[in-house]
Amino acid sequence: MLKALRLRAHKFGSETDGSMSVETVLIFPLLLWFYLSTFTYFDAYRAQSTNIKATYTIADAISRELNGVDAAYLKTMHELLHFLNNSAHNMRMRVTVFTRDPDDNNKLVLRWSCRYGNGGAGFLKHTQTTLEGMDALIPPSPKPDELVMVETFIDYAPPFSARLFDDEVPADGMLESGNSGGLMIGLSPTTFNNVVVSRPRSVNQVKLQDGNCA
C-alpha cells in the first residue's frame, strides 16, 4: 500500500505535462497584482519625494525675503507648490513664523501664521496653542532665532486600489479613508505631510506685511 502511494507520488512529481491555458489563468492574476502594486508603491514614493523637495524649495525662498511677505506672495507660493508637484492631487500649505522664549523654558512664541488650500474646516492657521502642540516636531535652536516653518499636505490617491467584499466603493473607484469595510488591496488614500523649519538668511524675522492672509 505504501509502496503504491510512493510510486504515485513519484510519478506525480516527475510529471511534466500541463495545460498552457490553465496555467495562464492561475498565474496571470498574480502577475497583474505584482505589476500594479509595484507601480502604485513607486508612484507613492515619487509623490512623497517630490513634495518634500517642493517644501524645502518654498521654505528656502521665504527665508531669503528681505522685505517680508504678503498674502499675494504666499498665494503664489501655494501655486508654486502645485507647479513643483505637477499633480492633480489636492494640496495645501501653512506658513508660520515663530521664535522661542529663553526665559520661559524655550517656549514657542507665535509671530504670525497663514494657510492656503482646501483643507476643510479643520485646516486653520496656527494659534499659540496649536503651535505649542508641535514642539516635538520642531528642532531645537541654539538661540532664540525667528524661524520660518512651512507645512505642506498632499491628499494622495493611489492610481490602483480596490476593496473586496465591500458594497460601498464610490462610483469613481476611489476609496474614502473613512470606509473600513472589506479587504483592502493596495494602498489606501492617504495624506502626505511634510514640515520644514528654516532660519531667515539676511534678516532677523520674515515679517508679514499685511494681516489679511487666510
**pLDDT tens by residue, 109-134:** 999 999 998 887 788 999 999 999 99
Overall number of domains in the chain? 1
Q: Are 146 and 207 in contact (CB under 8 A)?
A: no
pLDDT of residue 171: 41
C-alpha distances in Å from residue 145, one per residue of 92, 115, 157, 204, 206 = 26, 22, 38, 7, 11
Is 182 exposed, middle or buried (CB count within 10 Å of its CB: 0-12, 13-18, 19+)?
middle
In a domain, 50, yes or no: yes
In a domain, 49, yes or no: yes
What the block records as the C-alpha cell of 22 is 490553465
Domain boundaries, position 167: 30-198
In a domain, 213, yes or no: no
In a domain, 131, yes or no: yes
Task: Count Cβ atoms below 10 Å from residue 26 Cβ, excluding itself.
Answer: 10
pLDDT of residue 27: 84
In a domain, 8, yes or no: no
In a domain, 71, yes or no: yes
pLDDT of residue 168: 45
In a domain, 84, yes or no: yes
pLDDT of residue 118: 87
* Beta partners for residue 143, in sequence order: none
pLDDT of 170 over the 50 cut: no
Q: Mutual orientation of helices 71-85 and 20-63 as an angle, nearest 10°?
A: 150
Q: Please, which pLDDT band fits residue 12 given cuts at 50, 70 and 90?
A: low
Most confident of 148-152, 153-157, 203-207: 148-152
In a domain, 192, yes or no: yes
Mean pLDDT, residues 20-26 taken together? 77
pLDDT of 78 over the 80 cut: yes
**pLDDT tens by residue, 182-193:** 445 567 788 999
Q: Please, which pLDDT band fits residue 7 given cuts at 50, 70 and 90?
A: confident
Mean pLDDT, residues 97-101 taken together? 91
DSSP-derived letter for residue 104 is: G
Q: How large a percentage of the chain has pLDDT more than 70?
A: 81
DSSP-derived letter for residue 70 is: -
Task: Count Cβ atoms below 10 Å from residue 14 Cβ, excluding itself.
Answer: 7
Name the residue type at position 15. E
Mean pLDDT value across the chain: 81
pLDDT of 195 over the 70 cut: yes
